[in-house]
Amino acid sequence: MGQASGKVDDHFFLQKVKLGEGSFGTVWRAVHRQSKETVAVKQLEKASMPRRGVRQQDIENEVQVMRAVEHRNVTKLLAHFEDSDNIWIALEYCDGGDFGDKVKERGATLSEHEAADWMTQILDAIKALHINGICHRDIKPDNFMVHGDQLKLSDFGLALFLPAGKLAAEKCGTPAFMSPEMHRLPRYSRGYTNLCDVWAAGVTMYMVMTGGRHPFLSDGAHREQQLDERKLHAGSMDFSEGGSGFFGFAAGSSWCEAAKDCCRRMVEPDMARRATVQEALTHRWLTTGEKTQTTRSPLGQVAMLVRQGTLELSMASKGCSSGGGILERGTRCRYCSARYGWMPAVVQGFNESDGTYNLDVRDHARLRDMSPDSGVAAAEAWPAYTLVHYQSETLSTWLPAMVRSFNEPKAGISEGSYNLDVRDFASAERIRPRLGPE
């Protein structure tokens, strides 16, 4: 998405609610004037950018990076604007705050299955960047936002395009999350690759395991925490009973050996031995269910099953109401008539012979001519686990997807939307039913 035409006020109504403020500028809550969706708008004052160490080139780079990646675990760039005084960047709104607070909030109540789901989402976001030749360089809990049960990577101010086999030599990032090869710059290191993101993800995993405790920072409650560079360069992490984290939670002591091994493979000082993001994602702790606790939220479980490619089998064994593929009799939908256009409809049955539906307005309706009814209440919406196709505007193709939940119409919003595993707030117009796995 290039620079949007017109002014920011032409497209968004900026509310007097600050979502964040720092050296980068100010983030405001706003509402899209047409869709009425809540968004976040980052304001950067041009006059103050030089003293904040922010260059126009940095902003252009951040926008270019976000344009290059569309993924459910990456904050979506909606538009950006520029006027004589400010640069404005409109972003997907996340209502759950930052992940760093969530980690401390959950503390010892977190199960390994929930932690595995979080780590899979974090690594999925990093993988999406690395596939596109992008290195984030500032992976940490505070740079992931929480939206429902999803994590979304944000803050791409330090990200850069780094092709495979190339080394970067700029020393930047948050020191407590920088890898050893970054800390050794410029005299004792030739540079770093995108594996620095994997190191930071491993540090993040340790904090998830310990309720927010950092492996390389001192525990001083009444003094500023100090970075222990000796432990950092050695990748030394304390998983013993003795190391207590927030709320008195033992530092990783109750976690299975597979979890600790996964963390150690990412927090490996030797780049040649450190796991890549793909290797981390295929670690047995994330793929085989080797965990010490079994409690897990249904949506979190489904998200993991989707990533492992076993969604349909799992739903069939659990007897999900929709079966994942076939819409039940009585399901509200819309049908696109060649003569009358879109009209409300109700499913009457399914024809296995040709894969079509009988509706109250038409028999043998094709899947491509059906979509959800966006004006219904949540109780009448297509249920979670329903398999669909979603039309991605960015990719210009139809993606296999799954319904996670429905957002009911609210005051000022005439249509509801669906949260899918590939996209939140998806318009019903871009959704079609899907019969099974692909």
CA dihedral 97→139→158→21, nearest 10 degrees, is 20
Give the span between the Cα atoms of 85 and 135, in whole angstroms.
30
List the domains of the chain with CATH numbers: 8-92 (3.30.200.20), 99-298 (1.10.510.10), 332-433 (no CATH)
- Cβ-Cβ contacts under 8 Å for 292 (sequence gap 6 or more): 112, 254, 255, 256
pLDDT tens for the 438 residues of the chain, in order: 345 667 899 899 998 888 877 666 789 999 999 999 999 999 988 888 888 778 888 888 889 999 999 999 999 999 999 998 999 999 999 888 889 998 988 876 788 889 999 999 999 999 999 999 999 999 999 999 999 889 999 989 899 999 877 899 999 999 999 999 999 999 999 999 999 999 999 999 999 998 899 999 986 555 678 999 999 999 999 987 544 443 333 444 578 899 999 999 999 999 999 999 989 998 989 986 566 543 334 444 444 444 444 343 333 333 333 345 789 999 999 999 988 889 999 999 999 889 999 999 999 999 999 999 998 988 899 998 899 999 987 677 888 888 988 988 876 667 889 988 888 888 999 999 998 776
HEC letters along 254-313: CCCHHHHHHHHHHCCCCCCCCCCHHHHHCCHHHHCCCCCCCCCCHHHHHHHHHHHCCHHH
How would you label 196-214 residue by residue, b for 16+ Cβ within 10 Å and e otherwise?
bbbbbbbbbbbbbbbbbbb
Q: Give the global pTM.
A: 0.64
Give the span between the Cα atoms of 311 and 221, in whole angstroms.
45
Task: Please provide the distance, in angstroms rounded to a whole number, between the alpha carbons at the two ends of the chain.
Answer: 29
Angle between helices 112-131 and 257-266 (to 10 degrees): 30
